[in-house]
Amino acid sequence: MDKALIRKYNIPGPRYTSYPTVPFWNPAGIQLIDWQASVAQSFRQSNQTEGISLYIHLPFCVSLCTFCACHKKISKTHDVELPYIQTVLKEWALYRQLFSEKPQIKEIHLGGGTPTFFSAENLRLLIEGLLKDSIKHPDFVLSYEAHPNHTSAEQVQTLYDLGARRNSFGIQDYDPTVQTAIHRIQSFEQVKAIHDLSREIGYTSISHDLIFGLPFQTESSIRDTIEKTVSLRPDRIAYYSYAHVPWVKGVMQRGFDENDLPKDVEKRHFYELGKEMLFANGYVEIGMDHFALPTDTLYQALENHQLHRNFMGYTAGKTQLMIGLGMSSISDSWYAFAQNEKSLKAYTQRVENNQLPIMKGHLLTAEDLIMRQHILNLMCHLETDLAVGLSEDMQRQIRQQLQEMEKDALLTYDGTKLHITEKGRMFVRNICMTFDLRLMRHKPETRIFSMTI
């Protein structure tokens, strides 16, 4: 681990689940008619071949985890479930009006919040409502995120019966001190019980989410967490850098003092330690922050050059159209982005008034589309061809921006093809930033991104 390089390149930067990134969407937003047109266009182009993806945001949580930067709604009562599902299904009906034929659904992902806050009965109502009068793509995938403390055997079985073969458990860290600081307390025994149950039922891809850079983490706690995790052999492991953005989320990320967070080199050491342990146990690095066993579809997608990245992170298959349903969800038609109202009240009111609940969005320019593809290539495949879509002058500008990184052996060239080296993997976000024309032209005056390392 090169400490000098970490100090040099550890700057605020995007995670590139989209391009342009949300802070650089057109401030004027997007006209609803333009968004609807882009959805209809993308649907016509891709429904018969790729199918479409649905992301459903289920925002309710029993308690607040102080590390979380997601949009959520804390609730101790479950009478919010049914009205919310009815609203989501009504929003889906509004989108169905834009389609020229039955949608072919390739992927449904339930995110949150805590999707398993919802009862098995209501989860069935939701999935069956989404699939009604639709066609399941031959490669249909249903997946969901789950809190080990709030997931029952009935929920796991019901979702399996509806087609789920992949689930993801938010673990973060097993150390009691860390868990107390982030208000996410769950034992290894609880995780093992729900993990083993998923295996017994027949789930073929189980994922565990871990985070490094949390308050009070130590080398010992990282080792213990990784050892416990690999003992269960999840098919995928997401090993994320904690994104500390209290200036965005306010008090929700102020449950601890910033002095309690590991800094720069120490934080990166935790990642390198975890990566080394995962490699030793047969896991392969996928893109950025993701690892998978060679038997998992995520690894196979990497090998087949089909790995894709969107607002859900890395996926094993691409769909041109991804529709986000629920409060705060983000949709992607490839040609445009749109985000729903972030408050439950505003979201519900808009849908009840038979309106798509879009609060902001961005219509991509021709330049945006070119840069989006280059950044996607780098994030998924660690390479891109500068000659594709870029003028010779633009290629020269980008290569000039990358000169220092080339000197530091973070990347190489084969003619016009750029390749990120093994050494450069940890700096993939920095390399992508040289293609981010909107970031370069409108450098933020205040900090809006987490640190790249």
Q: What CATH number should be reported for the domain holding residue 239?
A: 3.80.30.20
pTM: predicted TM-score of the whole model, two decimal places: 0.91
Q: Is 113 labeled as ligand-binding?
A: yes
Q: Is 145 labeled as ligand-binding?
A: yes
Question: Is 36 among the domain residues?
Answer: yes
Question: Is 274 among the domain residues?
Answer: yes
Kindly state whether residues 75 and 91 are assigned to the same domain. yes
Kindly state whether residues 320 and 381 are assigned to the same domain. no
Question: Is 209 among the domain residues?
Answer: yes
Which parts of 382-427 fold into alpha helices (H)? 392-401, 403-407
Kindly state whether residues 118 and 43 are assigned to the same domain. yes
Q: Is 55 labeled as ligand-binding?
A: yes
Q: Is 384 labeled as ligand-binding?
A: no
Kindly state whether residues 87 and 119 are assigned to the same domain. yes
**DSSP strand E in 329-430: where?**
330-332, 336-340, 358-363, 383-385, 411-414, 417-420
Q: Is 174 labeled as ligand-binding?
A: no
pLDDT in tens, 148-201: 999 999 999 999 999 999 999 999 999 999 999 988 899 999 999 999 999 999
How far out from the chain centre does Cα 175 lie? 25
Question: Is 339 among the domain residues?
Answer: no
Q: What is residue 449's predicted lDDT score, i.e. its pLDDT?
A: 64
Predicted confidence (pLDDT) at residue 367 exceeds the cutoff of 60: yes
Question: Is 338 among the domain residues?
Answer: no
Distance, CA of 319 to CA of 329 (rounded, Å): 17
What is the radius of gyration, based on Cα positions, of the chain?
A: 21
Kindly state whether residues 103 and 220 are assigned to the same domain. yes
State which of 298, 325, 352 marks the end of a domain.
325
State which of 300, 325, 350 marks the end of a domain.
325
Question: Is 360 among the domain residues?
Answer: no
Q: What is residue 251's predicted lDDT score, i.e. its pLDDT?
A: 43
**Count of structural domains, the chain:** 2
Q: Which residue has the tokens 């700057």?
A: 11
Determine which of 33-47, 57-71, 80-94, 111-125 has the lowest per-residue pLDDT on average.
Answer: 57-71
pLDDT in tens, 306-364: 999 988 888 998 899 999 999 999 999 999 999 999 999 999 999 999 999 999 999 99
Kindly state whether residues 375 and 321 are assigned to the same domain. no
How far out from the chain centre does Cα 320 lie? 16
Q: What is residue 61's predicted lDDT score, i.e. its pLDDT?
A: 84
Q: Is 299 labeled as ligand-binding?
A: no
Kindly state whether residues 253 and 294 are assigned to the same domain. yes
Q: Is 272 labeled as ligand-binding?
A: no
Q: Nearest CA to 256 among 267, 237, 242?
A: 242
Residues 6+ apart with CB under 8 A from 60: 72, 73, 74, 75, 80, 81, 84, 112, 113, 114, 117, 118
Question: Is 160 among the domain residues?
Answer: yes
Kindly state whether residues 426 and 298 are assigned to the same domain. no
Question: Is 337 among the domain residues?
Answer: no
Kindly state whether residues 156 and 219 are assigned to the same domain. yes
CA distances from 168 to 193, 195, 238, 360, 416 (A): 14, 10, 9, 29, 39
Distance, CA of 407 to CA of 425 (rounded, Å): 15
State which of 325, 356, 386 marks the end of a domain.
325
Domain of 443: which CATH number? 1.10.10.920
pLDDT in tens, 220-231: 999 999 999 999
**Residue 74 vs residue 42, higher pLDDT:** 42
| Beta strands 336-340; 73-74: pairing state | unpaired
User: What is the average pLDDT value for the chain, to the nearest integer?
Assistant: 91
Question: Can you give the residue range of the structural domain that contains 305?
Answer: 20-325
Which parts of 22-152 fold into alpha helices (H)? 32-46, 81-96, 120-131
Kindly state whether residues 386 and 266 are assigned to the same domain. no
pLDDT in tens, 380-413: 999 999 999 999 999 999 999 999 999 999 999 9
Q: Is 406 labeled as ligand-binding?
A: no
- Phi and psi angles of residue 375, each rounded to the nearest 5 degrees, phi first: -65, -40
Handedness of CA 60, 63, 69, 73 (dihedral sign): positive
Distance, CA of 46 to CA of 137 (rounded, Å): 12
Kindly state whether residues 169 and 297 are assigned to the same domain. yes
Q: Which helix (H) or strand (E) holds 172?
A: strand 164-172
Kindly state whether residues 63 and 8 are assigned to the same domain. no
Q: What is residue 253's predicted lDDT score, i.e. its pLDDT?
A: 46
Neighbours of 281 (CB within 10 A): 16
Q: Is 114 labeled as ligand-binding?
A: yes
